[in-house]
């Protein structure tokens, strides 16, 4: 069963990415949806999971500090990319690095999703199926977000497809890796808290402003709210 679930996670991510590629001419609207989805994942999925998994060992204040540390760490990485490039390179090397940083973070999150599924099945098949339902529900938006991170930073279609394949294989690798090791629920919770900070920065400081740039704010705002609502409903239905 674990291999069927890995294949399903891969397929869901691929479908989301292909959807984004097909609607590239409406990129600003998809970016608005992606911004909402990424922020929604941070607030409604990663944060509650981090508090639930790590709450038995760590204080809520410490867990929220880890989230803030993730946000600040991503901000510093983003600014370092700017500082290490001259102005004339800003629209080439800088945007290329931002695309890789964003897509790479999303792929690492997908890997952790797979780890979460594998560890849940170590607890019991029932718990594993619940976690799987939650992961599969937002894997579609993960594919959309990964493709958008590349396209909105000037990346070509082929590069977006390469990152999409990396992201789609990441949960498979995460699931299979749990056959070789295990971590405590508290440790997994801390990792999720760190990624919550990453996602808040990506959504609020990167995707959201870009979706509004030179486009009608009304419709991009609607799609952003739709992305947040979509993740909220998905997480509640999977709970």
Question: Quick check: pTM over 0.85?
Answer: no
pLDDT in tens, 50-101: 898 899 899 999 999 999 998 998 788 777 755 444 444 445 566 777 778 7
At 211, the pLDDT band (50, 70, 90 cuts) reads: low
Mean pLDDT over 22-47 rounds to 80
Task: Inform me whether the pLDDT recorded for 217 exceeds 80.
Answer: no
HSE, side-chain direction, 13 A CA sphere, residue 178 = 25
């Amino acid at each position: 069963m674990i291999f069927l679930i890995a294949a399903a996670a891969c397929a869901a991510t691929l479908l989301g990415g292909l959807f984004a590629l097909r609607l590239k001419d409406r990129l600003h609207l998809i970016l608005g949806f992606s911004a909402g989805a990424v922020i929604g994942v941070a607030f409604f999925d990663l944060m509650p999971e981090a508090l639930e998994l790590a709450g038995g060992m760590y204080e809520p204040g410490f867990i929220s500090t880890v989230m803030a540390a993730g946000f600040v760490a991503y901000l510093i990485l983003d600014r370092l990319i700017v500082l290490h490039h001259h102005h004339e390179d800003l629209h080439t090397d800088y945007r290329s690095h931002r695309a890789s940083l964003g897509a790479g973070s999303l792929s690492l999150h997908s890997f952790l999703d797979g780890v979460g599924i594998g560890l849940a099945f170590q607890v019991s098949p029932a718990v594993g199926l619940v976690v799987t339902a939650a992961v599969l529900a937002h894997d579609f938006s993960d594919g959309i977000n990964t493709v958008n991170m590349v396209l909105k930073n000037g990346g070509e279609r082929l590069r977006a497809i390469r990152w999409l394949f990396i992201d789609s294989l990441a949960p498979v690798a995460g699931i299979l890796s749990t056959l070789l090791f295990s971590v405590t629920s508290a440790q997994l919770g801390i990792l999720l808290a760190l990624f919550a900070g990453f996602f808040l920065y990506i959504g609020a400081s990167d995707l959201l402003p870009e979706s509004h740039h030179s486009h009608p704010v009304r419709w991009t705002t609607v799609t952003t709210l739709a992305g947040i609502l979509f993740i909220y409903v998905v997480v509640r239905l999977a709970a």
